[in-house]
Structure 1
Amino acid sequence: MKQQNLVLIFFFCLNFSLFAQSDQDSIPAFSKNGISKPSILSTNPFGIFISRLDHNFKLKASCRMEIDIALESGNVWGPNVKTYIPNDPALQRQMSTREWFSRQYFIDETQIDAGYFEIETDGVIKGLRGNLTIPTTKNQELIVGFRAFVLTNGKLPLSTLTADRFIEFFHDNVAGGDDPFDRRVFGLDRAKFLYTDRNGRSFDLGNGDFLTAGIETHYYYYPTFLNEKKIYFNLGAHVGTNLSKYNMSMDVGASAAGVKQFDLNDRNFMLFGLGANVLRKNAVEFQDDNFDFGTNDFIGSFEVNAEYTFISKGKTYHSFGLNYYAQTSLQQKDEDAYNIYVRDDDATNSWGHGTRHLYKNNDYWTLAYTFTRKISTSFYIQQDFTVNNNPDLQTGVSVKFGI
């Protein structure tokens, strides 16, 4: 059995083992603290190589140590696209007057003076995350975590909702139409990640190949001056260390988030959260040959979250959340006005998304359900409706418990 299958089986065994013990006195009680949101960061093919920041919608610092383990699965797809960035200002002006999909017919690839990068993505990216929360003072806490990703072909049953066959079944029978992204043209259940950056560095990865990993440190402070009005804030400082051979560097960032609670009665309440953060990519580089995963040095994101919770007779919290996440583009947008995109000869439908949308702000919606008693268990499904280079469909499950 392949290495990634062993990781997945281990995670599910851990999840069900912890759930089976949820009524035993040996497990400390875990209380709901703010919006019960797992990590909903997408398995964006470029984004996984940097330390993108999630948003924190807790009401207060944790009073005991906690462990959070999460598994995510996202289907990524984009046929091969070659991108030329003209150096000649006259050619830039000429290309800016042409439709982006037609520019390739006005140049000779062998003669053009231009920068160049090439991308092709196909498969299901599996991510495993873990966090340890450590209380430091009454209103402050430290979170230390890790992340790791592998590329798989997404075959059933380990990728039921994120498999190519399920997504194309959905397109055929619900929305999208017949093969709107040319998946069937190139074959289903494949795994490939080809990338050549503008500095000429390249990799070509397939099924079971390890993609990237990292270590993250987050420090949060929770002011209390508005708590009496049931308004809660937190401020965060963040350091992420990227540990893959493709990008060995350190990112730094800052965040702020707020939550407002509305009590409907003694067993029903709603929470609304707003969060924003900014990240400086590759603030410190540990090697000279890091890949270029986007020309924007600063990445910002914004998140809106609404959650309804009811408490059942067994004192179990059932929470239903709807989340909107938006992030600034990974590439500087000006280039898209004159870039020359050259498609694969077999690609006809939506072939430019995987490359062009690196120049667009990306966003997605997430629907989550969490039940909390002595353990908090979350499930979510995520959709990128604007096809902005995130997975067509992503799912995740996480468990959180006190120790």
Structure 2
Amino acid sequence: MLKSTGVFVFVFFISCIKTHAQDTLVLNTSVQKPSLLSAHVFGIFSSRLEGHFKSKPDQNSSLQFDYLSGNVWGQPVENYIPTSNTIKNLVTPYEWHRREFFVDRTDENFLSNTENFKIAYDGVIKGLKAKVYVPINSKNAIQVELRSFLLTRGRFPFTGLTGDDFIEAIHSNIAGGEDPFQRREFGLNQAEINYTDRQGRQLLIHENEGFFGGVKLDYYHYFENLLPYEMHFNIGLHSGINTSPFNKSIDLGFTANVFKNIAFRDNTYFQLGLSLGYLHLKTASLSDRNIEFATRPGFLNLESVFTYNILNSKQQTHSFGLDFYIQSAYHKPSEYDYSILFRNERADRSWHYSVTQLYLNNNYWTFFYAFTDKNSFRVYLQQDWLVNNTPDLQTGVSYVISFR
């Protein structure tokens, strides 16, 4: 993960040492990127931050719609976290997949000296976002985003690439082998998210149940001539108001974004961008029944993007982009050293990911294409290479209307 990020950072700064701008080429002032945040089974319930790669405010207001479809799958797992040193010292020497055999989870002493959470999920999450961007002046802009989500079975024809049937066909015939995650054994095309946190509060979502996730308010300030080599820099201040029945709270965060155009030929150019952000979760809690999705106070995220752009004779732009996104873990990694995972009685392989990946950084790669004229049409394909279930495979389309 760090190596992947390092490659982007290296390429970005090397490219900034020597670039030759061509006066005849009119370059876009922003990366034509759709909203690429994943439909993570926990992430959909809180605000999240992503890169804002613009060199200056747009001349006009715009309205952006994003539709996504992401497949999530995690076998039923129950995780016990010792609160006493006695139990910690007992299980720490053993590998994580053997610890369940050295304790008795029906013992009262064990239960009184541990915390636990249970999790299982399956389905295709559909998401819809609407975003309004309004320039204030030559250095400032604001943005308002609404988001909503729906859990479905993901059956054809309403779901294509992100459906269970397609993903398991890829596993069986191309990569992964026959049913590597036991998805077929537990049943294809199911839809349920079932999570009970450490306080015993349960989140249960069934097929075709949806919710309005909330509103995010963004303020951006753009700096001129602050960085060398014609690099552009902006900062963002963010406030997310979460409104789902499972998390009513306000998150606060900030991002720092660096962006650069690199002219290549008379009709082609590259774009590079880096973004660093931090989001503080539940800065203000609006309910005493909020589900605990993360035991950390907030998330760090790093995003890097590279695009290759072709400008045709009609001044229309075709953009081909690659994006890498990484976010810090939901739980402290040190807790994993003594966590005790109990598998479902039907599980015999690849059963742990729904819990173990919560202790690892969340990351994924995205390939996207954009066609930009007066308005912009964008599509993308997102892959989770490390089985983060962030989700396993996600697709999306985006359309931006510019009010000129």
- For the criterion TM > 0.5, the same-fold answer is yes
Moved more, 67-76 or 171-180: 171-180
How far does residue 312 in structure 1 lie from its aligned partner after superposition? 1.8
Separation of aligned partners in 2, 1:346 and 1:211: 31
> Is contact 2:46–2:213 with CA below 8 Å preserved after alignment?
no
* 1:224-249 CA-partner distances (Å, limit 9, x unpaired): 11588431111000000000111000
**Is the Cα contact below 8 Å between 1:100 and 1:340 reproduced in 2?**
yes
Structure 1 pair 131/107, CA: closer, same or farther in 2 (3 Å)?
same
Are residues 1:76 and 2:94 paired?
no
Report the 3-state secondary structure (helix = DSSP H, G, I; strand = E; otherwise coil) of the residue aligned with 1:273. Answer: strand
Structure 2 partner of 1:210: 210
* Aligned-partner Cα distance in 2 for 1:33–1:283: 34
- Tell me the equivalent position of 1:34: 30
Kindly report which structure 2 residues correspond to 1:354-365, keeping only aligned pairs within 5 A, or say none.
354-365=354-365
**Kept in 1: contact 2:203–2:291 (CA 8 A):** no
2:237·2:254 contact (CA, 8 Å) conserved in 1? Answer: yes
> Which string of whole-angstrom CA distances, capped at 9 and with x for unpartnered residues, describes residues 63-92 of structure 1?
111000000110000010001111221211
1:132 positional shift = 0.4
Give me the whole-angstrom Cα distance separating, in 1, the residues matched to 2:28 and 2:259.
Answer: 14
Question: Secondary structure of the residue that 1:265 maps to in structure 2?
Answer: coil
Aligned to 2:291: 291
2:52 aligns with one of 49, 56, 65: 56
Q: Displacement of 1:334 after TM fit?
A: 1.6
Question: What residue number does 1:183 align with?
Answer: 183
Residue 81 of structure 1 aligns to a residue whose secondary structure is strand
For residues 301 and 277 of structure 2, the distance between their equivalents in structure 1, rounded to whole angstroms, comes to 6
Task: Return the match for 2:86 from 84, 90, 108.
Answer: 90
Distance 2:157 2:76 in 1: 28
Counterpart amino acid of residue 316 in structure 1: Q
What is residue 379 of structure 2 aligned with on the other side? 379
C-alpha contact (below 8 Å) 1:318/1:370 kept by paired residues? yes
Counterpart in the other structure of 1:390: 390
Question: 2:203 is matched by which residue type in structure 1?
Answer: F
**Distance in 2 separating the partners of 1:238 and 1:226:** 22
User: How far apart are 1:32 and its partner, in Å?
Assistant: 4.0
Q: Would the aligned equivalents of 1:140 and 1:221 in 2 still touch at CA under 8 Å? A: yes
Q: Given that residues 270 and 307 in structure 1 are in contact (C-alpha distance below 8 angstroms), is that contact kept between their aligned partners in structure 2? A: yes
Separation of aligned partners in 1, 2:207 and 2:28: 39
Match of 1:104 among 97, 100, 122: 100
Q: Secondary structure at the match of 1:388?
A: coil
Gaps of 5+ in 2: 1-26
Q: CA RMSD in A?
A: 1.3
Provide TM-score, normalisation by structure 1. Answer: 0.90
CA distance in 2, matches of 1:109, 1:93: 17
1:388 CA displacement: 1.7
- Kept in 2, the 8 Å contact 1:61–1:140? The answer is yes
TM-score normalised to the size of structure 2?
A: 0.90
Provide the secondary structure at the position in 1 that maps to 2:264: strand
Moved more, 384-393 or 206-215: 206-215
Runs of 4+ in structure 1 deviating by more than 6 angstroms, as ranges, are: none
Deviations 1:351-375 (A, max 9, x none): 1011111011111000000000121
Which whole-Å CA distance do the structure 2 matches of 1:126 and 1:132 have between them? 21
Corresponding residue for residue 242 of structure 1:
242
Aligned to 2:158: 158
Alignment of 1:219 with 2:219, yes or no, is: yes
Greater mean deviation of Cα atoms: 317-326 or 305-314: 305-314
Q: How many residues end up aligned between the 2 structures?
A: 373
Show the counterpart of 1:315: 315
SS at match of 1:105: helix
CA distance in 2: counterparts of 1:349 and 1:250, whole angstroms: 39
Cα distance in 1 for residues equivalent to 2:386 and 2:327? 13
SS at match of 1:160: coil
Give the Å deviation of 1:313: 2.4
8 Å CA contact 1:32–1:372 kept in 2: the answer is no
Could you tell me the percent identity over the aligned residues? Answer: 38
Q: How does 1:209-358 map to 2 (within 5 A)?
A: 209-226=209-226, 229-358=229-358
Task: Give the equivalent residue in structure 1 for 2:168.
Answer: 168
